[in-house]
């Protein structure tokens, strides 16, 4: 752990190398191989759910793990994108790629508006502000006409990709979703390992020093906020196409809590952590769904244990043992 | 009676009253958050769950042991406060040296556990809790009808808020508390047991939340989710007021309740979001909060 543990979120050290380190290249190739084989092993819709949440958690981790900003309102971007995408596909009859694009763009704008206000406060106030704005978005989704209120937008069609390829087969659609999410995760990796990512890291570690070096800190914070909201939107929009549904669940604060849980469990500030965390949480929800409210209790327990004993997360611990950033 | 902008005074006064009631809960809850934050430097996400526990405490005392409203008003906050103290000693106290965000995440986890457990055993439909006999009925004030219980909620909240303010700002104990907020090491050097004070402060803040819960039990149905959405609004109240000042938290709470009530009269669609809109405006004009110092 770093020496700044007293004041900062403890994060595993990130070393900067030119290009992708060899072991990470191998990890990404193995990951792709696993994901290509996944729908032949498990139910494709379940596999797509894992992919969407993995991208969502990676987007969240971009903000928390690399920007040091804890947003408690990421459901707003995930959920609004899912509504707009569903509306675009159902009412406007847009093709999947355009509907997803519309949803993602909505989240980017929403992220710009909320982010420019939220970065005016730091630390826990930032968390409370993002949570409050997300609740405002929730009330909007509850009352607005196009979202369908309690019913949500149901039986959203999956139109033909590019107007040519039918996408109704889940197995076919899986590979489209895989392309989106894997591309998104690679893109996020690229952001965090760019000069921009290094500046973010310096702001996270020592904001006054970054200011004194002449960086416009708020501009960087806003940029990473918008990027994070955009990728969260991409995940949400894709999810509404997967399930033919956009509902209030996606925009509720429990969803914001879940993405925090996934990232904490997997390991904040790691590349693979959010993916592993998302896979575990989604699997758990899937198999424990019959237990009802006990799932909430179990999630709460993971939070408590994670914060008290296990702050590095699964991948964080692995990364420390192997002495390699994962 | 006069009419204001075409709104009958009964409607206006009725909504103002509801606003004042909501404001009472905002004030007591944000006060508890501010007291806890001042000394512990954590945001108590479990505050809403503890408010719910207070209401359930009153319900359980009545239905399992036959203890009525008035003893419950004292007993339930004490029991919930004691549970809070146990949580502080066993878990929260381990996080003081870490980033504040961990305190938020831990108490969020605790809130999930508490709400999940209550949902399991009591469902989500809500349980009724009768208004105590002494406070049934109401007063006709000429321009409006004031139910006795609602009047009592406002009076009790005001008394508790100003009692807390007096204790913190005007008594010797309060001066220790304020000193420990500024510099815990120095206060410890004077021979005051700061860790114990922190523990008791957390217990007190949690007790305040439970007290609000008991007050709320006869108005809203006793429901495992009753605190979850409320606490997010209270967070917005805290951001608007800033947590640096006890009086600030109280005034912001009541004030925003009234504004919310007025919005329900003049623009009902906006009443759910008006507090968040005000938060956005405050963030633009005075980001540190109306009563805040740079935190």
For the segment B228-241, the average pLDDT, to the nearest whole number, is 88
Q: Do B280 and B163 sit in the same domain of this protein?
A: no
Whether residue A229 contacts residue A265, with contact meaning beta carbons closer than 8 Å, is answered with no
| Per-residue model confidence (pLDDT) at position A6 | 43
Q: How many domains does chain A have?
A: 1
Q: What is the pLDDT of residue B99?
A: 82
Q: Do B155 and B211 belong to one domain?
A: yes
Average pLDDT of span A174-190: 92
- Is B280 in CB contact (< 8 Å) with chain A? yes
Is residue B246 within 8 Å of B169, Cβ to Cβ? yes
**B99 to chain A: which residues are within 8 Å by CB?**
7-10
The pLDDT of residue A11: 53
In a domain, B101, yes or no: yes
Report the distance separating Cα B253 and Cα B248, nearest Å. 8
Q: Which residues of B touch A124 (CB under 8 A)?
A: 42-43, 100-101, 103-104
The pLDDT score that the predictor gives to residue A282 is 92
- One domain for residues B236 and B220: no
pLDDT at A1 over 70: no
CB atoms within 10 A of CB A166: 11
Segment A206-218 mean pLDDT = 88
Does residue B182 share a domain with residue B67? Answer: yes
- Total count of domains within chain B: 2
Q: Concatenate the DSSP letters of all residues of chain B into one string.
A: ---BTTB-HHHHHHHHHHHHHHHHHHHHHHHHHHHHHHHH----TTHHHHHHHHHHHHHHIIIII---HHHHHHHHHHHHHHHHHHHHHHTGGGGTTS-HHHHHHHHHHHHHHHHHHHHHHH-SS-B--PPPGGG-SEEE-SSSEEEHHHHHHHHHHHHHHHHHHHHHHHSHHHHHHHHHHH-HHHHHHTT--HHHHHHHHHHHHHHHHHHHHHHHTTTS-B-TTTTHHHHHHHHHHHHHH-SS-HHHHHHHHHHHHHHHHHHHHH-GGGTTTHHHHHHHHHHHH-TT-TT----
User: What is the residue-wise DSSP string for A255-294?
Assistant: HHHHHHHHHHHH-TT-SSHHHHHHHHHHHHHHHHGGGTTH
Secondary structure in 3-state letters for A7-69? CCCCCCCCCCCCCCCHHHHHHHHHHHHHHHHHHHHCCHHHHHHHHHHHHHHHHHHHHHHHCCC
**Mean pLDDT of the region B237-243:** 86
Query: Is B5 part of a structural domain of the chain?
Result: no
Residue B196 has pLDDT above 80, yes or no: yes
Residue B23 lies in a domain: no
Q: Which two tokens stand for residue A171?
A: 């197995």
> In this structure, is residue A5 part of a structural domain?
no
The pLDDT, as a whole number, for residue B18 is: 87
Most confident of A223-232, B15-24, B227-236: A223-232
Question: Quick check: is B94 in a domain?
Answer: yes
Tell me the C-alpha to C-alpha distance, in Å, between residue A29 and each of A21, A98, A186, A201, B251. 13, 29, 11, 26, 58
- Does residue A1 fall inside a structural domain? no
Higher pLDDT, B137 or B151: B151
Which residue, B199, B226, B253, sits at the end of a domain? B226
Confidence check: pLDDT of B3 > 70: no
Report the first-to-last Cα separation within chain A, whole angstroms: 15
Smallest CA–CA separation between A233 and chain B, in Å?
A: 22
* B123: contact with A, CB 8 A cutoff: no
10 Å Cβ neighbour count for B270? 14
Same domain, yes or no, for B184 and B233?
no
Query: Would you say residue B6 lies in a domain?
Result: no
On whether residue B145 sits in a domain, the answer given is no
Of B43, B103, B284, the CB nearest to A117: B284
Q: Please tell me the distance in Å from A98's CA to the nearest CA on chain B.
A: 31
Most confident of the ranges A15-29, A229-243, B173-187? A229-243
Per the CB < 8 Å rule, is B239 touching A129? yes
Going by pLDDT thresholds of 50, 70 and 90, the confidence category of residue B257 is: very high
**Rounded CA separation B81/A57 (Å):** 35
The answer, for B104 touching chain A at a CB cutoff of 8 Å, is yes
* pLDDT tops 60 at residue B76: yes
Q: What is the mean pLDDT of residues B107-114?
A: 93
Residues B202 and B71 in one domain: yes
- Within a domain: A161: yes
- Chain B residue with CA closest to A8: the answer is B99
The predicted pLDDT at position B264 comes to: 86
Q: What is the pLDDT of residue B30?
A: 92
Residue B235 sits in the same domain as residue B96: no
Other beta carbons within 10 angstroms of residue A263's beta carbon come to 30
pLDDT at A95 over 90: no
Q: What is the pLDDT of residue B1?
A: 46
Q: What is the pLDDT of residue A109?
A: 96
pLDDT single digits (tens) B212-221:
999 999 988 8
- CA-nearest residue to B98 within chain A is A6
Q: Which residue has the tokens 């806890």?
A: B36
* A90 band by pLDDT with thresholds 50, 70 and 90: confident
Task: Tell me the two tokens of residue B54.
Answer: 């207070």
B residues 215-254 closer than 8 Å to A (CB)? 228-229, 232-233, 235-236, 238-239
If asked whether residues B233 and B106 sit together in one domain, one would say no
Would you place residue A3 in the very low, low, confident or very high pLDDT band (cuts 50, 70, 90)?
very low
Residue A12 lies in a domain: no
Residues B175 and B240 placed together within one structural domain of the fold: no
pLDDT tier at A2, thresholds 50, 70, 90: very low
Q: What confidence tier does A4 reach under pLDDT thresholds 50, 70, 90?
A: very low
Q: Give dist(CA B295, CA A69) in Å, integer.
A: 16
Report if residue A8 sits inside a domain. Answer: no
Give the Å distances, CA to CA, from A49 to A153, A236, A248, B84: 18, 10, 17, 38
B181 and B95 within one domain = yes
A123, A264, A307 member nearest B100 (Cβ): A123
pLDDT at B83 over 90: yes
Domain of A105: which CATH number?
1.10.3470
Run of H or E including A202: helix A195-205
Instruction: State mean pLDDT over B201-205.
Output: 93
For residue A147, the distance in angstroms to the closest alpha carbon of chain B comes to 16
What's the pLDDT at B142?
Answer: 72
Spatial distance between the Cα atoms of A245 and A157, rounded to a whole number of angstroms: 9
Which chain A residue has its CA at the smallest distance from B120's CA? A293
Question: What ipTM was estimated for this complex?
Answer: 0.85
B191 and B253, same domain (yes or no): no
DSSP A165: B
Residue A192, phi then psi, degrees to nearest 5: -70, -25
pLDDT at A316 over 90: no
Q: What is the average pLDDT value for chain B, to the nearest integer?
A: 87
Residues of A in contact with B95 (CB under 8 A): 307-308
Domain boundary pick from B226, B255, B274 = B226
Enumerate the residues of chain A whose CB falls inside 8 A of the CB of residue B228: 253
Q: In this complex, do A303 and B112 lie within 8 Å of one another by their Cβ atoms?
A: yes
Averaged pLDDT of chain A = 86
Give the domain range for residue B245.
227-295
Higher pLDDT, B45 or A13: B45
Would you state the pLDDT for residue A86? Answer: 92
**Domain range spanning residue A131?**
21-322
Domain final residue pick, B181, B201, B226: B226
In a domain, A4, yes or no: no
Give the confidence band of A7 by pLDDT, cuts at 50, 70, 90.
very low
Q: Is residue B235 included in any domain, yes or no? A: yes
Do the domain assignments include residue B14?
Answer: no
Residues B231 and B218 in one domain: no
- Res. B294: pLDDT tops 60: no
CA angle B81, B86, B89 (to 5 degrees): 120
Please tell me the predicted confidence (pLDDT) of residue A286. 86
């Amino acid at each position: 752990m770093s020496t700044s543990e007293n004041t900062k979120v403890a994060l595993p050290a990130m070393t900067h190398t030119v290009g992708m380190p060899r072991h990470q290249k191998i990890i990404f190739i193995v990951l792709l191989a696993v994901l290509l084989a996944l729908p032949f092993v498990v139910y494709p819709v379940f596999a797509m759910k894992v992919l969407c949440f993995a991208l969502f958690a990676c987007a969240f981790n971009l903000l928390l793990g690399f920007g040091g900003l804890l947003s408690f309102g990421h459901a707003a971007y995930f959920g609004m994108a899912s509504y707009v995408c569903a509306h675009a596909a159902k009412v406007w009859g847009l093709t999947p790629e355009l509907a997803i694009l519309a949803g993602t763009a909505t989240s980017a704008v929403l992220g710009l508006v909320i982010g420019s206000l939220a970065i005016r406060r730091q630390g826990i106030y930032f968390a409370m502000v993002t949570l409050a704005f997300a609740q405002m978005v929730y009330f909007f989704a509850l009352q607005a006409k196009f979202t369908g209120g309690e019913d949500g937008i149901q039986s959203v069609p999956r139109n033909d990709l590019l107007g040519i390829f039918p996408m109704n087969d889940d197995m076919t659609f899986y590979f489209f979703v895989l392309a989106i999410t894997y591309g998104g995760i690679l893109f996020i990796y690229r952001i965090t390992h760019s000069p921009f990512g290094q500046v973010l890291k310096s702001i996270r570690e020592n904001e006054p020093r970054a200011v004194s070096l002449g960086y416009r800190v708020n501009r960087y914070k806003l940029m990473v906020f918008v990027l994070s909201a955009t990728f969260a939107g991409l995940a949400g929009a894709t999810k509404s196409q997967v399930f033919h549904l956009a509902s209030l669940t996606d925009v509720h604060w429990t969803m914001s809590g879940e993405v925090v849980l996934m990232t904490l469990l997997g390991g904040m500030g790691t590349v693979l952590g959010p993916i592993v965390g998302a896979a575990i949480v989604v699997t758990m929800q899937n198999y424990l769904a019959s237990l009802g409210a006990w799932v909430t209790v179990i999630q709460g327990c993971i939070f408590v244990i994670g914060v008290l004993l296990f702050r590095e997360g699964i991948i964080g611990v692995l990364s420390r043992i192997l002495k390699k950033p994962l | 009676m006069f009419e204001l902008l075409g709104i009958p005074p009964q409607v206006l006064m009725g909504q103002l009253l509801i606003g004042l009631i909501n404001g009472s809960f905002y004030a007591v809850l944000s006060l508890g958050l501010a007291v806890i934050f001042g000394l512990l430097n954590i945001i108590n996400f479990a505050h809403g769950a503890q408010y719910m526990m207070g209401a359930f405490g009153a319900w359980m005392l009545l239905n399992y042991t036959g203890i009525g409203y008035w003893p419950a008003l004292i007993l339930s906050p004490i029991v919930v406060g004691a549970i809070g103290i146990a949580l502080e000693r066993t878990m929260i106290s381990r996080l003081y040296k870490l980033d504040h965000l961990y305190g938020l995440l831990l108490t969020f986890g605790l809130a999930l556990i508490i709400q999940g457990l209550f949902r399991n055993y009591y469902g989500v439909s809500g349980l009724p809790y009768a208004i105590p006999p002494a406070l049934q009925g109401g007063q006709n004030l000429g321009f409006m009808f004031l139910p006795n219980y609602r009047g009592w909620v406002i009076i009790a909240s005001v008394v508790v808020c100003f009692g807390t303010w007096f204790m913190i700002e005007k008594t010797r104990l309060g001066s220790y508390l304020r000193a420990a907020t500024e510099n815990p090491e120095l206060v410890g050097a004077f021979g005051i047991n700061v860790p114990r004070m922190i523990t008791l402060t957390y217990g007190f803040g949690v007790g305040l939340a439970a007290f609000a819960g008991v007050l709320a039990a006869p108005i809203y149905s006793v429901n495992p989710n009753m605190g979850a959405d409320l606490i997010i609004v209270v967070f917005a109240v805290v951001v608007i007021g800033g947590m640096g000042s006890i009086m600030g938290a109280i005034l912001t709470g009541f004030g925003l309740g009234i504004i919310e009530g007025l919005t329900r009269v003049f623009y009902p669609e906006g009443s759910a979001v008006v507090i968040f809109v005000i938060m956005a405006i405050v963030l633009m004009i005075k980001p540190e909060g109306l009563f805040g110092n740079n935190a």
